[in-house]
Amino acid sequence: MPHKGFDIFIAEPQSTDARRCRVCGTTCRVTRNVFGPTGFVTAMAGLFRVHDEWVCPHTDQPWHGRALHLVTAIEDTPSKRVATLMREDLEELLQEHLRAS
Ligand SMILES: [Zn+2]
């Protein structure tokens, strides 16, 4: 499940700036001219508009979900030491899976 602002980015139609996944650093794939809501609130309000969606190609992989969890936990933890440990776990996880692909 992609997480907006981490591994899925909404952009104006015909956006040219390639987005990089904030979880694994992979260049995202773009789907152009998507017609739909651009977020939870706009979905609830039934607001649809044309936009580009940049999504990480690994977003459906279980390891990517774990990596996303680590990234958000690193941002949330008030502890520098815990953050350092989790960053090491994240590095290890990414190396394990990105080397193979
Ligand atoms: Zn990614």
Closest CA to 71 of 59, 83, 55: 83
| Mean of per-residue pLDDT scores for the chain | 94
Residue 79, CB-side half-sphere exposure with 13 Å CA sphere = 8
Q: Residue 55 pLDDT more than 90?
A: yes
Contact 53, 34 (CB under 8 A): yes
Number of domains in the chain: 2
Residue 42 covered by a domain: yes
- Cα 55 to ligand 1 centroid, rounded to whole Å: 8
User: Which of the four pLDDT bands, split at 50, 70 and 90, describes residue 40?
Assistant: confident
Q: Which of 40, 55, 70 is the last residue of a domain?
A: 55
- Cα 2 to ligand 1 centroid, rounded to whole Å: 9
Q: Residue 97 pLDDT more than 70?
A: yes
- Cα 74 to ligand 1 centroid, rounded to whole Å: 16
Per-residue pLDDT tens digits for 85-94 = 999 999 999 9
What predicted TM-score, i.e. pTM, was given to this entire model?
Answer: 0.85
Residues of the domain holding 39: 8-55
Residue 14 covered by a domain: yes
